[in-house]
Amino acid sequence: MSIRIGILGYGNLGRGVECAIKHNPDMELVAVFTRRDPASVKILTDSAAVYHVDEAEKMKDKIDVMILCGGSATDLPVQTPKYAQWFNVVDSFDTHARVPEHFANVEALVKKFALKFLDDPSFGQLKTALADKDAETAFRAAHTLKGICINLGFSDLYRTSYDITEIFRGGTMDGAEELMDAMEAQYQMIVEAVTQVREEESV
């Protein structure tokens, strides 16, 4: 399974990132996002598409990593916390004196959304649907859980939720119970870690 990449910003850095992706067979460029008219942007990757930046959020289930290629002075301080809501992000922030501040802003936002994970019903709905042999409901719950996990960087649970989503997508449940054992363990580890963070926040 290739890592699906998005590039936000297509100046010199964005074009360099695209060239680097071409040399990594385990990566696939899915989309380039630009503030310009997408029709005016010509990229090197035939299989990828160009979108306006306003379309990025709609692609959150189709991109595993968003590489932000904006400037450190004004773009990345805004873009990195914003897009970290929906994607695993990589940026090139290089204003050295402000790196701790930049990291703190991103961490605060991710922590906010991670705490909400404890209240998300998707995993419980998935277990119930699996017990009821309801593949359609199980698919919806697993798909939702997959999206949450990729957004928050819960990589192990993302991979198993991706695999089980693909099982249900085919309208079958064959092999799903075996995957659920691994998912249960991964889910409980995350819940314990996030619960600890919440308790520390409340002290």
The residues pairing with 66 across neighbouring beta strands, listed in sequence order, are 6, 89
Fold of 120-202: Four Helix Bundle (Hemerythrin (Met), subunit A) (1.20.120)
Per-domain residue ranges of the chain = 3-110, 120-202
Fold of 3-110: Rossmann fold (3.40.50)
Per-residue pLDDT of the chain (203 residues; tens, 9 = 90+): 578 899 999 999 999 999 999 999 889 999 999 999 999 999 999 999 999 999 999 998 888 889 999 988 888 888 988 888 888 788 888 777 777 887 777 777 777 778 888 888 999 999 999 999 999 899 989 988 887 887 777 889 999 999 999 999 888 889 999 999 999 999 999 999 999 888 887 76
Is 120-202 in the same CATH topology as 3-110?
Answer: no
Note the pLDDT of residue 113: 75
Contacts of residue 70, Cβ cutoff 8 Å, sequence gap at least 6: 8, 9, 76, 79, 91
Note the pLDDT of residue 44: 95
Note the pLDDT of residue 55: 96
Note the pLDDT of residue 108: 74
Q: Is the pTM of this model over 0.75?
A: no
Note the pLDDT of residue 68: 96
Note the pLDDT of residue 203: 64
